[in-house]
Amino acid sequence: MNPREPTRNLVLTGFMGTGKSAVGREVAARLERPFVDTDQLIEERTGLRIPDIFEQAGESCFRELEAEICRELGTAHGLVIGTGGWTLGPPENRAAIERGGMVVCLTADAPTLIQRLGSAEGRPMLRDAAWQARLKALLAERQPVYTAFPFRVNTARRSTGEVADQVLAVWEAFKAAEPPLALPVMSEGNGYPVVIGSGLLGQAAPLIRAAGRWTGLALVSDGNVAPLYAEPLLRALAPAGSGLPPARPGQAVASCTMPAGEAHKTLETVAGLYRQFLAAGLDRQGAVVALGGGVVGDVAGFAAATYMRGLALVQVPTSLLAMVDSSVGGKTGVDLPAPLVTGGPGGKNLVGAFKQPELVMIDPALLASLPEAELRAGLAEALKAGVIGCVPLFERLEEGRLDDMAWIIRQAVAVKIQVVEGDPYEQGRRAVLNLGHTFGHAFEVLSEFRLRHGEAVAMGMVAAARLSARLGRCPAQVPPCLARALERLGLPAALPGFEPGAVLAAMRADKKKQGSRLRFVLPLEVGHVEIFDDVPDGAVLAVLAALSEER
């Protein structure tokens, strides 16, 4: 039997107190299926209550019983299953259950769980005088595993019936589909998944609705993307009987638009979104869905971070650059025009905020409609990830192998996640993600943003590699190797014809400097970069002059 057929099991997992048993029984009744509670099954087989098993035989014995149950239920069909809070923690248990079932993870924040449980009675994992603190610590410890499930339903502020509605909506959308991949991103004990799957946009609505009990949604897109993808998503987000209260009479989801292009990545555009949010009646329990490329994600994300002191945010990137870079990590912002930047030509991303999304959904199939030049620009960011920390990714791109874009996206996103988890607010190591950007942002500004961001970063990486070689920090073969890879991908490796002094001046207006010193991310070899703030201006000018002469 094909495990993706609708007769496969529907499995609910999640931390204690998220409602797996109550919701599972409700879902089973609606589907007219048997309900199996793994904890109850263990108690029936042993004749002991769960706390007694822990007390008499220890946690390891209980975990062995859970593993046995998972192996058995993985071969069953047509069930609704509710698991224990950590039953699917071990990878082998999850793999066994998923052979015969689709897993939906129920989630809730710690205050909600503490209120629901009321005490640690009957909870052997919370055996502590300060059980609330123990719960918070245990939830944070387990969060990476829960966040790695692509199908998640937030149960906070929802009744059992409302959670069941969301579970069944996700089930109907994905019960016969190949499950997408979820890469967890953790930040300060919380997290969000980056869900990657071909065709995901057509199934995005139930995942967005499941992520929170929103009082309204604002779908933000631009003039290029909206005609392609906004209308079907709008219809899917607010179908009859969806349960979403209206943002204004008769409208559950507001369609908000902004002009397309880097030139409109401004405070004026953000103000325009604020006006549209107000007109739609969006309040503090609403959410913003950013549907578009990097500019839309940055602007809509900044608007979400600042409107009413912060709304929830969902990122749905449609360009390769946004998929592999800007949609992940929580950085949002806008550019400042030259008149506002004293003594400089303007500045990129000088106003912004860190705003972690609730969910990022990446559909590689959308790349089929992306203009060739935009696809190439995104490949620069993918190659950047390879130089920073993934040699296999760099080698594949160096060979020009673009046959599996989903693989390329996964590897690039994994590099970014590894970096941002260790430094979510760019206080240190996260700056390595700016490889090529110190030069590249200056090129963008001096071109008055006629250069695409990816093109500027490509040239900036070449300049950084040449600077590193000049300073003796990388082997001489690294710069030409990087240049060949960029040319193989159809990206520029030669610098634009800007005067070196003007480039240096533009760099000094960039936010990445520390005091009067510029910071450079320099490759030491492919797969290893470091941050330097002791680079002499003379070396920078010499590299820029040499590259200009080679044009």
Residue 247 confidence (pLDDT) above 50:
no
Instruction: Give the strand pairing for 181-187 and 190-196.
Output: antiparallel
CA distance 234 to 252: 9
- Collapsing DSSP states into helix, strand and coil, what is residue 246? coil
Which fold does the domain 192-370 belong to in CATH?
Rossmann fold (3.40.50)
Find out whether 88 and 99 touch, Cβ atoms under 8 Å: no
- E strand or H helix that includes residue 164: helix 160-174
Give the mean model confidence (pLDDT) for residues 500-516. 79
pLDDT in tens, 26-43: 999 999 999 999 999 999
CA distance 287 to 292: 16
Give the mean model confidence (pLDDT) for residues 502-526. 84
Residue 533: DSSP 8-state: S
CA distance 497 to 439: 13
CA distance 359 to 349: 23
Look up residue 401 and give its two tokens.
Answer: 């192998």
Q: What angle do CA 440, 443, 447 make, to 5 degrees?
A: 145
Which fold does the domain 9-179 belong to in CATH?
Rossmann fold (3.40.50)
User: In terms of Cα–Cα distance, which of 413, 406, 429, 434 is closest to 185?
Assistant: 413
Look up residue 308 and give its two tokens.
Answer: 């009413």
Find out whether 407 and 502 touch, Cβ atoms under 8 Å: no
CA distance 544 to 550: 10
Report domain extents, the chain: 9-179, 192-370, 424-549
Which of the residue ranges 103-107, 219-223, 341-345 would you say has the lowest mean pLDDT? 341-345
Position 129 confidence tier, pLDDT thresholds 50, 70, 90: confident
Q: What is the pLDDT, as a whole number, of residue 250?
A: 37
Burial 19-50 (b: 16+ CB within 10 A, else e): bbbbbbbbbbeebebebbbbbebbbeebebeb
Residue 134 confidence (pLDDT) above 90:
yes
Q: Please tell me if the domain spanning 9-179 has the same topology as the one spanning 192-370.
A: yes
Find out whether 24 and 76 touch, Cβ atoms under 8 Å: no
Q: What is the pLDDT, as a whole number, of residue 1?
A: 40
**What is the pLDDT of the chain when averaged over all its residues?**
92
Look up residue 538 and give its two tokens.
Answer: 């003379």
CA distance 242 to 220: 20
Find out whether 127 and 57 touch, Cβ atoms under 8 Å: no
Taking only Cα atoms into account, the Rg of the chain, rounded to an integer number of angstroms, comes to: 25
CA distance 211 to 356: 14
Name the packing angle between helices 391-398 and 405-422 (round to 10°): 150
pTM for this entry = 0.92
Find out whether 38 and 59 touch, Cβ atoms under 8 Å: no
Q: How far is CA 189 from CA 42, 155, 246, in A?
A: 31, 18, 32
Name the packing angle between helices 372-389 and 405-422 (round to 10°): 50
Q: What is the architecture, at CATH level 2, of domain 424-549?
A: Up-down Bundle (1.20)
Question: What φ, ψ does residue 515 adopt, rounded to 5°?
Answer: 65, -125
pLDDT in tens, 266-323: 999 999 999 999 999 999 999 999 999 999 999 999 999 999 999 999 999 999 999 9
Burial 514-536 (b: 16+ CB within 10 A, else e): eeeebbbbbbeebbebebbeebe
Look up residue 200 and give its two tokens.
Answer: 């995901």
Q: What is the pLDDT, as a whole number, of residue 244?
A: 45
pLDDT in tens, 432-442: 999 999 999 99
Residue 243 confidence (pLDDT) above 80:
no
Residue 401: DSSP 8-state: -
Using CA atoms of 243, 248, 252, 255 in order, give the dihedral in degrees to the nearest 10.
-170
CA distance 288 to 444: 28
